[in-house]
């Protein structure tokens, strides 16, 4: 019997963009089950576009996206609906529904996509909220929550259907360093204790060192993956000096910040 890790996401020869405009091309990577996989890149490098292709919001120009053995690009209507239930997404802003309480937000996928009896839906949603540390905020409206709490609630909602994969878009954006670190602890604990696979889009280096098992770094200039590996490896040993500078927070080779 093989001890090879289970590949839960496989992306092959992916080309993404809008109409005639190609944002990224020749994208190939695999995500192992239970790892925290980070997609990193500078502003405008195509991180969010790639994420939106991975979660099926945009159709890629070319290539394949295999999630749990099903090709999202060519999946039929029913296959695609089933596949969408297998992963959860937490958006950068949280994207909680403002007219619903936190509990109602987390219950929504259970109400709409399962036949569970009402008491079990409520118990499940409450258990998820307890897990992310929002036990005291279940009846609050999203507007009453801090940024960090909104992101926790978004993660609870993304986990409501017991998805094995969670996609997170810029989870630490707009958070203070302490709150961002708290969120990173939650992500690593969910990954390591419950075997949830995380695909995280971010450019927050402090967060990457805390959570990432593996990183791919997108290069907006070449429109492809510049480097792949563990963050410490990329910081110290990346072949591309630009990648090393990025990981070491060094500015580009210019003499002044002013473009005079």
Partner 1 sequence: MTASQNELDTDLQFGPAGTARLVLRGRLNARTTVACWNDLEERLRNEKIQKLQVDADGLEFCDGGGLALLRYLSMGLMTPGAAISIQGLDPEMEKLFHGFTPQDYQAMRQSTSMKCHPLPEEVGAGIRQAASDLREQVEFLGNVTRNLLPTVASRKRMRWTEVGRVFELAGANAVPIVSLVSILVGLIIAFESTQTLAKFGAQIYVVNMIGIIMVRELGPLLAAVLLAGRSGSAFAAEIGMMKVNEELDALQTFGLDPIRFLVVQRIIAAILLTPLLTVYATFLGVTGGVLVALGLGYPWALIFHQLTASLRLSDIVFGMTKGVAFGAIVSAVGCLRGLQTQEGPSAVGISTTRAVVTSIVLIVMADAVFSVLFFVFKK
Minimum distance from CB of 169 to partner 1 (Å)?
18
Give the CA distances from residue 110 to residues 67, 83, 107, 116, 187, in Å, rounded to whole numbers and listed in that order. 22, 16, 5, 7, 22
Binding of partner 1 by 119 (CB under 8 A):
yes
Q: How many residues bind partner 1 (CB under 8 A)?
A: 34
Binding of partner 1 by 69 (CB under 8 A):
no
Binding of partner 1 by 75 (CB under 8 A):
no
Among residues 5, 79, 82, 130, which is the contact residue for partner 1, using CB under 8 A? 130
Among residues 123, 146, 177, 236, which is the contact residue for partner 1, using CB under 8 A? 123
Among residues 77, 98, 251, 257, which is the contact residue for partner 1, using CB under 8 A? 98
Helix (H) / strand (E) element for 131: namely helix 118-131
Give the footprint of partner 1 on residues 160-199 (CB under 8 A): 160-162, 193-194
Binding of partner 1 by 124 (CB under 8 A):
yes
16 DSSP β-pair partners: 24
For 147, phi and psi rounded to 5 degrees?
-60, -45
Q: Are 16 and 58 in contact (CB under 8 A)?
A: yes
For 6, phi and psi rounded to 5 degrees?
-75, 130
HSE of 122 in the Cβ direction (CA atoms, 13 Å)?
5
Residues near partner 1 (CB under 8 A): 98-99, 110, 114-117, 119-121, 123-124, 126-131, 135-144, 159-162, 193-194
């Amino acid at each position: 019997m093989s001890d090879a890790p289970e590949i839960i996401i496989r992306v092959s020869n992916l080309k993404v963009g809008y109409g005639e405009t190609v944002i990224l091309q020749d994208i190939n990577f695999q995500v192992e089950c239970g790892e925290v996989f980070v997609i990193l890149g500078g502003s405008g490098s195509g991180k969010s576009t790639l994420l939106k292709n991975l979660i099926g919001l945009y159709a890629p120009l070319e290539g394949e996206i295999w999630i749990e053995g099903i090709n999202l690009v060519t999946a039929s209507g029913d296959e695609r609906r089933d596949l969408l239930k297998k992963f959860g997404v937490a958006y950068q802003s949280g994207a909680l529904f403002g007219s619903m309480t936190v509990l109602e937000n987390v219950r929504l996928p259970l109400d709409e996509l399962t036949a569970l009896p009402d008491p079990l839906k409520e118990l499940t949603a409450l258990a998820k909220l307890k897990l992310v540390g929002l036990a005291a905020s279940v009846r609050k409206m999203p507007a009453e929550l801090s940024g960090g709490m909104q992101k926790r609630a978004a993660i609870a909602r993304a986990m409501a259907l017991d998805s094995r994969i969670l996609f997170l878009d810029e989870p630490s954006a707009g958070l203070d360093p302490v709150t961002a670190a708290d969120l990173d602890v939650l992500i690593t604990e969910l990954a390591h204790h419950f075997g949830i696979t995380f695909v995280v889009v971010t450019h927050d280096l402090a967060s990457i060192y805390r959570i990432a098992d593996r990183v791919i770094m997108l290069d907006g200039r070449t429109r492809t993956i510049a480097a792949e590996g563990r963050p410490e490896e990329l910081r110290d040993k990346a072949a591309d000096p630009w990648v090393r500078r990025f990981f070491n927070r060094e500015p580009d080779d210019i003499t002044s910040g002013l473009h005079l």
